[in-house]
């Protein structure tokens, strides 16, 4: 049976109301509910997914209230009630995931902040990166305060070699994109990708998979769950990250269905390949 591991990365971007601050915060257990839903939905498809919990990013604490990306938190709760994410622990967490790669056929990572994606990047990866935004800024590496909007600068500096193909990018900021900027999925560079880095804000808004980021540069007609599932099925990656995913804003559970369908498709193809080798 295909060995599949599911891990959450508990980082969220939190607006501090009336303070003009957007905080990158460590929120323990923020992925617990969605991981449980993925596990349960996978069981319905006779898939065994190992719940690996959350990446260790600090000791557990309870903020005492729920975090909402759009509403933020009152200024009086900052910084006493909420912890800034520890970037050093996030970097160290990558090593834990790299060790798991030798034991698992597929790693699924999920989190509400795209900053968590850096935990899956490894030297030698071929990455299909699906995002509405480039997350790549025109600043000197040392001057960047790493956030969901600049994690690709960290990748550029710390992960070499890596081959990245960007799909569905509409907002490129001032530095463009890191890697190849594909204009269409007809360019099948993704076929050799072992790693899919998926920001759910890439999807056409009609699917209502997220409700945080608008699409001022227009929708990508190709950014459909069906197309993305087809890309994953053809490539058969061993790592898939689903980022900026917040189940509250996945109104019709289409995002959840895509995650589970992706696990099912990759698992089925791995098992088919294994049977061919055995026979």
Determine the Cα–Cα distance for residues 108 and 260; give it in Å rounded to an integer: 10
Helix (H) or strand (E) holding 32: helix 32-44
Enclosing H/E stretch for 13: strand 11-16
The vertex-21 CA angle with 15 and 23, nearest 5°, equals: 60
Q: What confidence tier does 223 reach under pLDDT thresholds 50, 70, 90?
A: very high
The answer, yes or no, to whether residue 272 has pLDDT greater than 90, is no
pLDDT surpasses 90 at 131: yes
Query: What is the rounded distance in angstroms from the CA atom of residue 143 to the CA atom of residue 35?
Result: 35
Q: What confidence category does residue 20 fall into, taking pLDDT thresholds of 50, 70 and 90?
A: confident
CA distances from 189 to 126, 218, 232 (A): 9, 24, 12
Distance CA 209, CA 196 (A): 18
Q: What are phi and psi of 226, to 5 degrees?
A: -65, -45
Task: Give, in degrees to the nearest 5, the angle at Cα 7 between 83 and 56.
Answer: 35
Model's pTM, two decimal places? 0.95
Q: What per-residue confidence (pLDDT) applies to 236?
A: 95
Residues in CB range of 151: below 8 A, 6 or more apart: 114, 115, 117, 118, 135
């Amino acid at each position: 049976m295909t060995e599949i591991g599911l891990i959450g990365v508990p980082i969220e971007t939190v607006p501090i109301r009336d303070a003009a601050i957007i905080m990158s915060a460590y929120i323990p257990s923020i992925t617990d509910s969605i991981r449980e839903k993925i596990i349960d939905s996978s069981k319905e498809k006779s898939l065994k997914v190992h719940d690996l919990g959350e990446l260790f990013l600090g000791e557990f604490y309870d903020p005492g209230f729920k975090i909402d990306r759009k509403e933020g938190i009152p200024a009086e709760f900052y910084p006493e009630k909420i912890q800034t994410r520890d970037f050093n622990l996030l970097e160290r967490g990558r090593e834990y995931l790299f060790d798991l790669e030798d034991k698992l056929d597929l790693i699924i990572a999920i989190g509400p902040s795209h900053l968590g994606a850096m935990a899956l990047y490894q030297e030698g990866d071929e990455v299909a990166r699906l995002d509405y935004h480039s997350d790549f800024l025109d600043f000197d590496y040392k001057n960047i305060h790493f956030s969901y909007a600049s994690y690709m600068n960290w990748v550029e500096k710390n992960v070499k070699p890596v081959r990245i193909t960007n799909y569905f990018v509409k907002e490129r900021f001032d530095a463009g994109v890191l890697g190849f900027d594909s204009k269409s999925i007809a360019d099948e560079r993704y076929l050799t990708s072992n790693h899919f880095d998926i920001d759910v804000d890439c999807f056409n808004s009609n699917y209502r998979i997220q409700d945080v980021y608008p699409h001022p540069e227009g929708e990508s007609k190709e950014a459909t769950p069906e197309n993305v599932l087809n890309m994953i099925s053809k490539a058969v990656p061993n790592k898939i990250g689903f980022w900026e995913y917040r189940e509250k804003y996945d109104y019709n559970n289409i995002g959840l269905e895509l995650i589970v369908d992706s696990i099912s498709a990759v698992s089925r193809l791995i098992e088919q390949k294994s049977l061919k080798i055995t026979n």
